[in-house]
Amino acid sequence: MEFKVNSIELEKLLNKIIPAVPTRTPMPILENFLFEIKNGLLTIYATDLEISLKSSINVVSDENMSLVVPARLLYDIIKSFPDTTVKFLTSNNKLNVITDFGTYTLGYIEANEYPEIPSFPQKTDEDVQEISMNGLELKKAFDKTSFAIGKEEMRPAMMGTLLELSDEGLRFVATDGHRLVNLLNKKITSQGLIQYIVPEKAISVLQKILDEKDAKLYLSKSHISFKLSDIELITRLIGQKYPDFKGVIPLENEFSLQVKTKEIHDAIRRMLLFATTSTRRVKFSISASAIDISAEDIDLGSSANESVMCKYNGEPLEIGFNAGYVNDILSHMLPEKEVVFKLNSPTKAAIVVPSEEKETEELMMLLMPVRLNS
């Protein structure tokens, strides 16, 4: 087999595919790319058996064939070349990569040893939803929600982001039980209500490869395919029931605390330096015009106290939070704007929302309080 390709084009392609190559795996063959050449088109695949990535480029080749090559070594050597022609040649069960600089020889494996790649179901009788969405808008939705994805293997349904398609819109939800993010895109609607849980790995890869071009999503019961301009990601879905997040969202939070995002965020970052490392507890003492924010580390004998201006319409309230979680939430709000904390009592979940929103979007974060000592 022999084919030729430009080094820079191949590097760009491998750079997009390599995020699917697992770094630690009990199946070493997954540390390879699958190369398929068909009628002058080279299609490269990588998978960790949960997600798969594939993309193609034109190459100069007379034959059709497939082979499995070491992903990282190939990527590193291609990356090391300036703009040049790279010739691939198989001989004596070795793959020779030939450039003007020299010859690099890699072992390869027959394509039939490569495991089956997650692929989108071809059955026509299944109900497949189709969505088209701007790539950056989709990336932003993942960016705003993915930090709250659960990490506990015992609660697999929470180890991904929920995509819920209904007549309200396309909803993105992530929660780890301590905080919850709920982002509704009202521009994309659908009859009925369908839920898909996309695993964290697929989302973290998509955050790297989504760009300003449109993305097409094909959603089935078991898989989603994300077709971007030059690459396709297919992921298995988490086959679990997502927890009833709507039931958790309090409706009686009538106390509204409005504050400049940057001011409270700066204060929280300083509190994190002083809060006990294990609990990261910070106390909000809220009155009509100011929040008194405090943290202490009894072991170190250090403490901090700040006052942040606010507008508050409720009864004076003392409530504790994990400062790390507050920091996460504020990091996903626009710093130049204001946020509103909707509160009820020291033991009820707080709701955090931006003070202004686009008509087509609704963002809501929920944060569980922590018990105060006093």
Instruction: List residues near a copy of itself by CB under 8 A.
Output: 70, 73, 76-77, 80, 94, 101-107, 266-267, 269-270, 273-274, 293, 300-307
Nearer to a copy of itself, 305 or 345 (CB): 305
Query: How far apart are CB 363 and a copy of itself at their closest, in Å?
Result: 27
List the end-to-end C-alpha distance of the chain, in Å, as a whole number.
75
Cα 33 to Cα 1, 28, 41, 76, 203: the distances in Å are 17, 11, 16, 13, 21
Contacts of 337 (CB under 8 A, 6+ apart): 261, 354, 355, 356
Nearer to a copy of itself, 330 or 363 (CB): 330
State both tokens at 340: 């509103």
Query: How far apart are CB 244 and a copy of itself at their closest, in Å?
Result: 40
d(CA 99, CA 76): 14
d(CA 38, CA 59): 10
State both tokens at 139: 């990336």
Query: How far apart are CB 328 and a copy of itself at their closest, in Å?
Result: 18
Nearer to a copy of itself, 204 or 276 (CB): 276
Q: Are 46 and 71 in contact (CB under 8 A)?
A: yes
Query: How far apart are CB 97 and a copy of itself at their closest, in Å?
Result: 9
- Nearest alpha carbon to residue 107 among 79, 81, 71, 76: 71
Q: Are 190 and 169 in contact (CB under 8 A)?
A: no
Nearer to a copy of itself, 79 or 337 (CB): 79
Nearer to a copy of itself, 28 or 115 (CB): 28
Nearer to a copy of itself, 250 or 324 (CB): 324
